[in-house]
Amino acid sequence: MDGKQVWAEMLEGNRRFVRGERRAYDFASRRAELLAGQKCRVTLLTCSDSRVVPEFIFDTNLGDLFDVETAGNVVDEVGLGTIEYGVEHLGTPLLLILGHTRCGAVTACCREGGRGHGNLDSILDRLAPAVERARRDIDQAILENLRQTKREILEKSEVVRRHVAEGRLEVVTALYRLETGEVVPVE
Ligand SMILES: [Zn+2]
């Protein structure tokens, strides 16, 4: 299955989630099956927000999604290394960067910004360029942050660039709407 097919399947799972029709997965047998190793379909970067749970949102099973979660879905070296593990070693054909409406991290950066928040500063620093480009408009900053994160991943990861160039990886940015449960692609 290529990245585009996987993405279509993910959106299909999201439509089930929106309708409240979750698949009845047999976790016990799947746990046993996965002891031989994980064969994920998606490497996924999203926000740590407790309302954004990828396995629920896309109605997926154990072992389907290789998740990286940080406040504001920003990436540092550890995040990039984790993404590269998913892309190169697990061979996922899709890298999904998922932001969400009402993101607390982006909102904090739009409203306060600045420094003096301890280790949170490293997150705010990464969000700041997108927030400035969006002129501190929260909804726009959330979208701008997705574009910025995608650019940053492509700039800093030779592994991701190579997999894209070889046609083995699709990189998709999308927005999860807390209000409706739906995921919409973002250009
Ligand atoms: Zn968030």
Distance 71 CA to ligand 1 centre (A): 6
Distance 80 CA to ligand 1 centre (A): 18
Query: Please, what is the average pLDDT of the chain?
Result: 96
Distance 49 CA to ligand 1 centre (A): 5
Q: Which of 33-42, 89-98, 109-118, 144-153 has the lowest mean pLDDT?
A: 109-118
The pLDDT tens digits for 76-95 are 999 999 999 999 999 999 99
Segment holding 55, helix H or strand E: helix 54-57
Segment holding 148, helix H or strand E: helix 138-156
34 φ, ψ (degrees, to nearest 5): -80, -5
Distance 116 CA to ligand 1 centre (A): 20
Q: Is the pLDDT of residue 114 over 80?
A: no
Ion ligand 1 residue ranges (Cβ < 5 Å): 47, 49, 103
The angle that helices 138-156 and 77-84 make with each other, rounded to 10 degrees, is 70
Distance 153 CA to ligand 1 centre (A): 18
Q: What is the pLDDT of residue 115?
A: 78
Q: What is the pLDDT of residue 112?
A: 82
Q: Which domains does the chain have, with CATH numbers?
A: 3-185 (3.40.1050.10)
Distance 105 CA to ligand 1 centre (A): 6
Nearest to 57 by CA among 101, 90, 123: 101
The pLDDT tens digits for 131-149 are 999 999 999 999 999 999 9
Q: Are the C-beta atoms of residues 79 and 90 closer than 8 Å to each other?
A: no
pTM summary value = 0.96
Distances in Å between the Cα of 79 and the Cα atoms of 67, 93, 169 are 10, 18, 18
The pLDDT tens digits for 123-134 are 999 999 999 999
Distance 76 CA to ligand 1 centre (A): 16
